[in-house]
Amino acid sequence: MGTNSEKPHYVLGVVSADGERLLHKVDLKFEEGKFINDIRVTTRYNIIMDYPLRFGISRTLLQKPFIENDMNGKSRIGVMPLFGDADSIIWFDVENHCSYHLFNCFEDENEVVVRGCRILGSIIPSDRYRADKSKWYGRAFLQPDKDSEDFDPSLDGILFSRPYEWRLNLESGTTNEGYITSEKVAMDFPVINDKFIGIRNKYGYAQVVDSLATSKTGNILTVVIFEKSSSSQLFLLSFLLHNPCSWHV
């Protein structure tokens, strides 16, 4: 996939298993440039993230920042057949966000499950915050204190990243979504065993972000263990924390 400030704004391609041939290429007909970082596939679908992190030279002509996230904008997730086109995408409206990194996506009966690390704001601040960028980052990355007198929902904790799940029902067109870890630990840069890309996986791995443990021991890798409860909702069974610098292969 590739995004561009000029048309076509979003192009998706499918390559052969050996990486030698482009089998399919399609313009998704986005109406404006969106800075979208990640894409995933399942056995039958391409999973397309769309959130209002807009960019483009034309914005500067309108006296707008070159790149800016709209905190009051709309986000959606598209489910498109592997060799489909823009008209074949089923779009699901989701709560607004600006999430860069995904764990995995897979099909679960009539649902498509999307798991990633969700944030509310863009890690790339617009020109509006250039004057006091250090203060902006300091408040954006910290765990938000909603009881604080100076709490600002457009700033505090908007980059506090946590594992999240979207369940997209292909039959009803509805979405069930929510965080799958507590508010105490921030995580990002998720990965999984690449043998499970596009199919159900039990484990995910993520970097602990800006936590007390990180400040004491260095880089921390979290092993996220997913399991279904009786209510069919995903939850975090445990954290396994390791210092990657101490591993021996």
Contact between residue 66 and residue 57 where contact means Cβ atoms under 8 Å apart: yes
Q: By three-state DSSP, how is residue 166 classified?
A: strand
* Residue indicated by tokens 């990657």: 244
Long-range contacts: 28-37, Cβ < 8 Å, 24+?
28/78, 28/86, 28/89, 29/86, 30/3, 32/56, 33/3, 33/4, 33/5, 33/6, 33/9, 34/3, 34/9, 34/10, 35/3, 35/67, 35/122, 35/124, 36/1, 36/3, 36/10, 37/100, 37/101
Asked whether the bond before 153 is cis by omega within 30 degrees of 0, the reply is no
101 annotated as ligand-binding: yes
* Spatial separation of the C-alpha atoms in residues 22 and 10, rounded to whole Å: 16
Tokens of 86: 């823009």
Contact between residue 218 and residue 243 where contact means Cβ atoms under 8 Å apart: yes
What does the DSSP 8-state code read for residue 40? E
Contact between residue 107 and residue 45 where contact means Cβ atoms under 8 Å apart: yes
Tokens of 116: 């990633």
Tokens of 199: 């199919």
Residues annotated as binding site?
101
Residues annotated as binding site for Fe cation?
101
